[in-house]
């Protein structure tokens, strides 16, 4: 993903509301969101070139998503694919926190990224684990941290870096869900193609014309752009809605939609695994 705005435990009816755009080269082969594997327990898009994904959710309430950190001078073409981390997090049997704790030390070998990993439980279910959403970047010295309730924005820098597109998206998102949580208004927000004014542009190491094109919420550039928009909501009772709009790479004004709904399976919630030697 290249832009995510989300409300975490700050809406009275929804522990999680998320709107996100995935920006990618048009030539990179991708399959749209679907249930994966024989157990069909992971719902996510599929990067056909490296086998991973960028955003997904599971029937047991695990959520994971990733954005790249834009640092062209630091990019290692031989680094492993970051999308495999999202898939690993979704499939891990332990809690999200345990997965991050055990895997964070080796993540320096990957190109820069930001990651969200969480176990999303119903707020009205006292038997479920405490809902927890964590943020981690392998280009920061900070350890993974649990996010407090609030509204957040994440693009290709650290969480809540005030790039123009992030600021605009967060404001529009907060206003939209304040009245009612609906898919279509959030999709319209994600389809905003306005670019930032020159004085507002960040300096991330790419040429000026790219900096300008990338400042839009919905990107359309030569050979690169927004490939898919996703709206994900989790209601207090565990009802989860996953809506994905995929854009035609030859005719970006054309799109196809996929809509999934399911209820989180509390019986399959992650289990905290005791470390050896601990009581």
Asked if 69 and 137 touch (Cβ cutoff 8 Å), the reply is yes
**Hey, how many other C-beta atoms are within 10 angstroms of the C-beta on 252?**
16
pLDDT tens-digit map of 6-55: 999 999 999 999 999 999 999 999 999 999 977 789 999 999 999 999 99
Read off the pLDDT of each residue in 225-242 and give the average, rounded to a whole number.
Answer: 97
- Both tokens of residue 181? 């949580």
pLDDT band, very low/low/confident/very high, at 276 (cuts 50, 70, 90): very low
Between CA 14 and CA 8 the distance in angstroms is 8
Read off the pLDDT of each residue in 192-201 and give the average, rounded to a whole number.
Answer: 96
Burial of 201 (0-12, 13-18, 19+ CB in 10 A): middle
Predicted pLDDT of residue 252: 84
Residue burial 90-129, b: 16+ Cβ < 10 Å; e: rest: bbbeebbbbbbeebeeebeebbbbbbbbbbbbbbeeeebb
Is residue 277 pLDDT above 90, yes or no? Answer: no
Predicted pLDDT of residue 39: 75
Read off the pLDDT of each residue in 257-261 and give the average, rounded to a whole number.
Answer: 98
DSSP 100-167: HHHHGGGGGGSPPEEEEEEE---TT-TTSPPPEEEEEETTSSSPPEEPPSEEEEESSSSTT---HHHH
Burial of 3 (0-12, 13-18, 19+ CB in 10 A): buried
Between CA 254 and CA 191 the distance in angstroms is 12
Between CA 275 and CA 267 the distance in angstroms is 23
Predicted pLDDT of residue 275: 45
- Both tokens of residue 51? 């086998």
pLDDT band, very low/low/confident/very high, at 269 (cuts 50, 70, 90): low
Predicted pLDDT of residue 126: 57
Asked if 110 and 75 touch (Cβ cutoff 8 Å), the reply is no
| CATH of span 3-268 | 3.60.60.10
Between CA 24 and CA 29 the distance in angstroms is 10
Pick the most confident of 114-118, 127-131, 201-205. Answer: 114-118
Asked if 144 and 100 touch (Cβ cutoff 8 Å), the reply is yes
Predicted pLDDT of residue 40: 82
Predicted pLDDT of residue 270: 60
């Amino acid at each position: 993903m290249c832009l995510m705005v989300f409300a975490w435990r700050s809406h009275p009816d929804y522990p999680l509301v998320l709107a996100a755009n995935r920006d990618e080269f048009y030539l990179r082969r991708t399959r749209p969101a679907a249930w994966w594997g024989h157990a069909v327990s992971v719902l996510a898009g599929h990067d056909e070139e490296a086998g991973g994904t960028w955003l997904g959710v599971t029937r047991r309430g695990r959520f994971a998503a990733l954005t790249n950190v834009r640092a062209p001078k630091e990019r290692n073409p031989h680094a492993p694919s970051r999308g495999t981390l999202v898939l690993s997090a979704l499939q891990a049997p332990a809690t999200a926190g345990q997965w991050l704790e055990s895997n964070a030390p080796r993540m320096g070998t990957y190109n820069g990224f930001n990651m969200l990993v969480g176990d999303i439980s119903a707020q009205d279910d006292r038997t479920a684990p405490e809902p927890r959403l964590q943020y981690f970047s392998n280009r920061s010295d900070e350890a993974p941290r649990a996010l407090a309730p609030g509204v957040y924005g994440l693009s290709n820098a650290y969480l809540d870096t005030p790039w123009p597109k992030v600021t605009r998206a967060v404001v529009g998102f907060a206003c939209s869900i304040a009245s009612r949580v609906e898919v279509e208004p959030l999709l319209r927000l994600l389809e905003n193609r306005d670019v930032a004014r020159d004085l507002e542009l960040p300096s991330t190491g790419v040429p000026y014309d790219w900096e300008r094109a990338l400042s839009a919420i919905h990107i359309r550039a030569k050979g690169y752009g927004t490939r898919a928009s996703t709206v994900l909501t989790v209601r207090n009772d565990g009802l989860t809605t996953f809506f994905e709009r995929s854009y035609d790479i030859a005719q970006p004004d054309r799109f196809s939609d996929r809509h999934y709904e399911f209820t989180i399976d509390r019986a399959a919630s992650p289990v905290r695994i005791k470390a050896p030697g601990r009581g």
